[in-house]
Amino acid sequence: MNDIQSSDAIFKNLGLATQRDQAPKDDSLGQEQFLELMVAQVRNQDPFKPLENGEFLSQIAQFSQVSGIQELQNSFSQFANSLGSNQALQASALVGREVFVPGDTAVYNPGQAFNGVVELSQSTSDLTVSVVNSAGETVRTVPMGTQQAGSFAFNWDGSTDAGSPAPAGVYKVVAEANIDGEKVAVGTLVADKVDSVTIGRAGQGTILNLSSLGSVGLADVREIR
């Protein structure tokens, strides 16, 4: 008897050669074809040189490993799509809400208080927040005194240090802390209202479209009110 037949000969004996020649070329091997091939190997093996059990187990293990990896990839893909849908659904609930994002620039409109948060990494003997107009002029200084490390809310009602109302426009927030006798810039969060939500494509996050600050990523939101 001849040695173990080649894959092509076995497929031909199984009646698969004609189908494979007619069908589009596909190098993948399905589970059903794999089992048929294994049975054909057993039937056509040399009885004087039979395959060891270990060889069969090795082939089965290799096929199972490849099949398992493909199933795992499909599962992860479905899981990622599910996470994206859930995130978009949660983000849609933020429409109309006020969110705080890292930044130092915001738009002031008369009659609407300007809200923000100072993030202080260490205690200070003197914390101040200044509101600066587009010309670089300080229109209002808000003293916040001695503070321990932490986050502190502040707001500006639109009045200047002279007591007159400030015009609508873009303003910058400058927070400074006196630490060990030196003035140190401190990070701030600014507030804005969410107008709409843009669902990101594959590999992209969900985007929040704010009334004044433009678009920011959902991951950038630090506080929601």
49, 68, 92 — which closes off a domain?
92
Beta bridge partners of 189: 102, 117
Cα within 13 Å of Cα(7), Cβ side:
6
Element at 74 (helix H, strand E): helix 53-92
92, 113, 147 — which closes off a domain?
92
pLDDT tens, residue order, the chain (225 aa): 444 455 556 555 555 544 445 555 555 555 566 667 666 766 666 555 555 555 555 666 665 665 666 665 666 566 555 555 566 667 778 888 999 999 998 888 888 888 899 999 899 999 999 999 999 999 999 999 999 999 989 989 999 999 999 999 999 999 999 998 899 999 999 999 999 988 766 556 788 899 888 898 888 998 888
Q: What domain count does the chain have?
A: 2
In a domain, 213, yes or no: no
CB atoms under 10 Å from CB of 53, counted, come to: 8
> Do 16 and 44 lie in a common domain?
yes
> Do 107 and 182 lie in a common domain?
yes
Q: Report helix, strand and coil shares of the chain as percent, to nearest 5.
A: 30, 35, 30
In a domain, 214, yes or no: no
Any idea what the CATH number is for the domain that residue 144 is in? 2.60.40.4070
